[in-house]
Amino acid sequence: MIAVGRGPTSWVEAWTTHGRRVVAIVTLVSAAACSGSSDGSGELASATTVPPDGQAINNNGSTLPPPSGAPDFGPRIAGPDPGPSGATTPITIAFAGDSYGEGLSGDVTAAMIGRLRPMAPVLSAADLAVLNLETAITERGEPVPKSFTFRAPASILDGIASSGVDAVSVANNHGMDYGEVGLMDSLDARIDSPIPVVGVGIDEAEALSPARFTVEGTSVAVIGATQVLDDSVLESWTATPDHAGLASAKRVEELEEAVEEARADADVVIVFLHWGIETETCPSETQTDLADTLAAAGATAVVGGHAHRLQAGGFLGSTYVHYGLGNFAFNARSEASAKTGVLTLTFAGGRVTDEQWTPGEIRDSSPYPLEGDDAARAVDEWESLRGCAGLAATPG
């Protein structure tokens, strides 16, 4: 990736080639200060280091199919209406869940490449890929008083980008684990990041500002926000018009307005959320209510996680919703928390026309794709999660 314009209050314009695609990225960056603390993080154990070997995935234009056993869904919509740009060429966007940098040592870039390597071909095969980075991007500061605090140096972003990921969100309950100093460093890290970092900003407008991409003529906006903010840190962690911090999905009207503004000039609007109740496999009422609101505001897809468990994906009318991607590049201490995967959605004419779940399992904090009968069983289990979520297999 080549940055051609950069500064504390300037726009960053860059181009990256991932296989067959050329993507234009534009995002606003700056630095600021804020204080913060957070709640605990759920079912975790001490992380196991993945030995780095420094070998990045080579995005050389080859098509890398998902493992055998992953479903091949047919087109869902015939003759979709074109979005604002009129583009109808299908594009694919992949989504991955909770990931962090704990347990990495030495060259963190190479170590993160090693951690993501098993699923990197799936991420790289999509036109775009988005991941939840559950980490304060800093090497300084003091941990806030909570059960688990995560941080990593800015070089982790290079490892993530080298693994086929095009954007990350830090809007989650670990994005400010190292308080004011960590927030300043996270904001600074955005300036030199090879990929957009969404969900954090000098104020609410910047925190809710989407990463914008153009792929095959389709304009895409990705907004990051968190619904997981305890009352004790709600004020100090939340970005407002005069306060730096994280984009809060609890400020529903402001998030709704951001979606409406993005939809006015984007073919595809993605809301990437941190939401849900830890260890639950069914969405909460708060999740379903927010999904309804964002769908009505014009979101093309609402995707996220936090529960450290897989939750359902499917259609809410014409909007695609995935309530919980589960852990991804993250330590897991139980069979349930080790279930993972990559969600790949196909978009055409401003709508989701296809879904694909590439299932996997976590070993030593790395996501490994399943194959054969194991993959087929995992896909069946993933589809069965719709039973308690009110989502459909096809658009309404």
For every residue of 13-65, DSSP letters joined together read: EEEEEETTEEEEEEEE--------------S-----PPPP--------S---P
CB 269 within 8 A of CB 263: yes
The three-class DSSP label of residue 12 is: strand
Burial 166-190 (b: 16+ CB within 10 A, else e): bbbbbbbbbbbbbbbbbbbbbbbbb
Q: What is each CA distance from 21 to 64, 168, 173, 214, 393, in whole angstroms?
A: 14, 19, 33, 10, 29
Closest CA to 355 of 98, 75, 128: 75
Better-scored residue on pLDDT, 62 or 216:
216
Q: What percent of the chain has pLDDT over 90?
A: 74
Query: If pLDDT is split at 50, 70 and 90, which confidence band does 81 have?
Result: low
Q: pLDDT: is 80 or 115 the higher one?
A: 115
Question: CB 214: neighbour CB atoms within 10 A?
Answer: 18
Name the residue type at position 43.
E
Q: What is the mean pLDDT of the chain?
A: 83
- What separation, in Å, do the N-terminal and C-terminal C-alpha atoms of the chain show? 39
Cβ-proximal residues to 300 (8 Å cutoff; 6+ apart), any chain: 268, 269, 270, 319, 320, 347, 350, 351, 352
Per the confidence metrics, is the pTM higher than 0.75?
Answer: yes
What domains are defined for the chain? Answer: 30-47+67-72+83-388 (3.60.21.10)
Residue 2 banded pLDDT, cuts 50, 70, 90: very low
pLDDT in tens, 121-164: 999 999 999 999 999 999 999 999 888 999 999 999 999 999 99
pLDDT digits (tens, 9 = 90+) for 22-78: 333 333 333 333 333 333 333 433 333 333 333 333 333 333 333 333 323 222 233
Residue 145: the pLDDT is: 87
List, in sequence order, the alpha helices (H) in the chain. 108-116, 120-125, 156-161, 179-192, 204-207, 234-237, 252-263, 285-297, 372-384
Coil, helix or strand at residue 372: helix
pLDDT single digits (tens) 157-190: 999 999 999 999 999 999 999 999 999 999 999 9
Which phi-psi region, left, alpha or beta, contains residue 74 (left: φ > 0; alpha: ψ -120 to 50)? beta
363's CB contacts (< 8 A; 6+ apart) are 338
CA-closest candidate to residue 136, choices 149, 126, 148: 149
Token couple for 145 = 């008083």
DSSP state of 277: -
User: Residue 88 has what pLDDT?
Assistant: 85
Crossing angle of helices 285-297 and 252-263, in 10° steps, is: 30
- Indicate if the pLDDT at residue 1 is higher than 80: no
Residues 269-299: tens digit of each pLDDT: 999 999 999 999 999 999 999 999 999 999 9
Of residues 84 and 195, more confidence is placed in 195
Work out the average pLDDT over 233-238.
90
What is the per-residue pLDDT for 14?
Answer: 33
Task: Decide which of 21 and 166 is more confident.
Answer: 166
Say which DSSP state 80 is in.
P
Q: Is the pLDDT of residue 337 over 80?
A: yes
CA 191, CA 193: separation in Å to the nearest integer?
Answer: 6
